[in-house]
Amino acid sequence: MGYCISLADYDFILAAEQKDAALAAMKALPDGHYSWVDIDEIRNCKTLEGALREWCYEPEVDDGGNIVGFEFSGEKIGDEDRMFRAIAPFVKDGSFIEMHGEDGARWRWKFINGQMKEINARIVWDDE
> What is the span of the domain harbouring residue 26?
5-120
Please write the tens of the pLDDT for every residue from 14-69.
Answer: 999 999 999 999 999 999 899 999 999 999 999 999 999 999 999 999 999 999 99
Q: Contacts from 121-127 at CB under 8 Å and sequence distance 24+? A: none
Is there a domain that residue 127 lies in? no
Q: List CB contacts of 46: < 8 A, sequence separation 6 or more.
A: none
What is the pLDDT, as a whole number, of residue 125?
85
Whether residue 90 lies inside any domain: the answer is yes
Backbone angles phi, psi at 96, to 5 degrees: -150, 160
Please list, in sequence order, all residues whose beta carbon lies within 8 angstroms of the beta carbon of residue 64, skipping any fewer than 6 positions away.
Answer: 16
125 within some domain: no
Q: Give the count of domains, the chain.
A: 1
Binned at pLDDT 50, 70 and 90, residue 128 comes out as: low
Is 97 within the bounds of a domain?
Answer: yes
How many angstroms separate the Cα of 55 from the Cα of each of 21, 39, 59, 80, 125?
A: 17, 9, 11, 8, 36
Query: Is 29 within the bounds of a domain?
Result: yes
Rounded CA gap, 10 and 12, in Å?
6
Residue 75 lies in a domain: yes
Q: In this prediction, what percent of the chain has a pLDDT beyond 90?
A: 92
**9-42 as b/e: b if 16+ CB within 10 A:** ebebbbeeebbeebbebbeebeeeebeebebeeb
Say if 126 falls within a structural domain.
no
Q: Looking at the domain assignment, is residue 62 inside a domain?
A: yes
